[in-house]
């Protein structure tokens, strides 16, 4: 297994698996916890939009730090920074300073983490094994997502938010340990044409940001509401989805590496479109919502080996992976922020949650077209 010989990417994948415990036990409960704390659905989505806007505004300030210290210290700082918001989250009780602190802390942590993570993963990974490596990462994440939502739901229901979110923050910080022995990746002081080279990736990720706003953030709220705003039912539904995802994730990356990426793109986006429709129809039926959520675990193992392979390979081939990540992350922020504002406005005007869920369909169509174009047509089979 040649793709396992890369120690740096193995360390990042191990970190991703450990961090998925914190994400699955804590981050997926952020929006639904805000609902329990008295925040309305439109305001909860606006809070998420505030996090995205903060990331966008702060991103240019990270470049001088990257030039001085390299990517690894920024990545570790982002990992630890993402642990900071959870103690504040436990104190949220309607609108007030704890909510503002959560939004600000997540903005700072995320801008360091995702910018450094995506650039680092692109720089240390192997283009010829990219699908395998991303598939293994998603398998580890899916395995963590089986137990993590159950633990998070049990903690919130039995121990309360203070203990639960404190432990989530601790696990988040500990996920930095595998990265300590990884190599650093320097960032050049000046790279002409670096941002221009990121234009294709920026467009793809902008469409992905629009889709993610609907497919992840709005759906978390919709699923929680459909399940009677029960932490236990919500956590159980997420754990079932993690089990389905763990069974499928390792297979798709191998499919991409063997030259079937175009077919994988079409299959992935067709499945996602079907899931969007199923989710919109499930809001009055808890069991249908649970089924739709479980089947949704197929979406990322189907899509990410193709999408991540295209973006990471474009990034590695660009003049500067870090500046490439700056541009693509900005694209994601623009797409996600626009979709979140639109969803909040629709819900505030009295629209059903099904409407912002269906907003994901334009992102599916445009994202499929842009990603499909990134992969060459496979050569004809020999006679």
Q: SS3 string of 309-337? A: HHHHHHHHHCCCHHHHHHHHHHHHHHHHH
Residue 309 has pLDDT above 80, yes or no: no
Query: Which pLDDT belongs to residue 382?
Result: 46
Query: Which pLDDT belongs to residue 138?
Result: 77
Residue 106 has pLDDT above 80, yes or no: yes
CB count in 10 Å sphere of residue 304: 22
- Weakest mean pLDDT among 73-87, 117-131, 140-154: 117-131
Please give the Cα distance from 190 to 177 (Å, whole number).
31
Residue 143 has pLDDT above 60, yes or no: yes
Residue 84 has pLDDT above 60, yes or no: yes
Q: What DSSP string runs through 189-241?
A: S--TTHHHHTHHHHHHHHHHHHHHIIIIIIHHHHHHHHTTT-HHHHHHHHHHH
What are the pLDDT digits (tens) for 50-71? 999 999 999 999 989 999 999 9
| pTM for this entry | 0.88
- Assign 139 a pLDDT band (cuts: 50, 70, 90): confident
Mean pLDDT value across residues 34-59: 94
Query: Which pLDDT belongs to residue 383?
Result: 42
Q: Which residue has the higher pLDDT, 373 or 109?
A: 109
Q: Which residue has the higher pLDDT, 163 or 297?
A: 163
Q: Which residue has the higher pLDDT, 228 or 268?
A: 228
Residue 263 has pLDDT above 80, yes or no: no
- Assign 289 a pLDDT band (cuts: 50, 70, 90): very high
Packing angle between helix 360-372 and helix 261-281, nearest 10 degrees? Answer: 180
The conformation of residue 189, written as its DSSP 8-state character, comes to S
Residue 258 has pLDDT above 80, yes or no: no
Residue 249 has pLDDT above 70, yes or no: no
- Assign 313 a pLDDT band (cuts: 50, 70, 90): confident
Average pLDDT for the chain = 86
Residue 144 has pLDDT above 90, yes or no: no
- Assign 4 a pLDDT band (cuts: 50, 70, 90): low
- Assign 250 a pLDDT band (cuts: 50, 70, 90): low
């Amino acid at each position: 297994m040649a793709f396992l010989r890369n120690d740096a990417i193995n360390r990042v994948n191990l970190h991703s698996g450990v961090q998925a415990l914190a994400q699955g036990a804590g981050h997926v409960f952020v929006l639904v916890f805000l609902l329990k704390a008295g925040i309305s659905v439109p305001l909860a989505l606006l809070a998420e939009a505030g996090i995205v806007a903060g990331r966008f505004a702060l991103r240019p300030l990270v470049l001088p730090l990257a030039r001085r210290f390299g990517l690894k210290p920024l990545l570790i700082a982002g990992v630890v920074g993402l642990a900071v918001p959870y103690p504040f989250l436990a104190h949220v009780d309607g609108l007030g300073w704890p909510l503002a602190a959560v939004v600000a802390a997540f903005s700072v942590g995320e801008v360091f983490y995702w910018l450094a993570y995506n650039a680092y993963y692109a720089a240390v990974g192997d283009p010829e094994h990219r699908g395998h490596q991303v598939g293994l990462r998603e398998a580890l994440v899916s395995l963590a997502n089986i137990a993590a939502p159950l633990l998070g739901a049990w903690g919130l229901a039995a121990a309360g938010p203070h203990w639960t979110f404190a432990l989530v923050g601790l696990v988040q910080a500990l996920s930095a340990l595998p990265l300590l022995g990884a190599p650093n990746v320097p960032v050049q002081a000046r790279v002409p044409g670096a941002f221009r080279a990121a234009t294709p990736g920026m467009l793809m990720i902008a469409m992905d940001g629009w889709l993610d706003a609907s497919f992840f953030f709005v759906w978390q709220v919709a699923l929680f509401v459909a399940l009677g705003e029960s932490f236990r039912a919500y956590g159980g539904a997420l754990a079932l989805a993690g089990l389905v995802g763990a069974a499928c994730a390792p297979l798709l990356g191998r499919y991409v590496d063997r030259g079937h990426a175009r077919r994988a793109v079409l299959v992935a986006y067709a499945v996602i479109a079907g899931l969007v429709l199923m989710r919109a129809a499930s809001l009055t039926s808890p069991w249908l919502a649970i089924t739709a959520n479980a089947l949704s675990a197929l979406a990322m193992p189907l899509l990410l080996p193709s999408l991540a392979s295209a973006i990471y390979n474009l990034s590695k081939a660009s003049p500067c992976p870090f500046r490439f990540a700056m541009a693509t992350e900005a694209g994601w922020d623009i797409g996600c922020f626009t979709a979140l504002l639109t969803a909040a406005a629709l819900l505030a005007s009295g629209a059903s949650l099904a409407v912002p869920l269906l907003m994901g369909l334009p992102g599916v169509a445009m994202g499929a077209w842009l990603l499909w174009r990134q992969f060459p047509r496979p050569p004809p089979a020999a006679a």
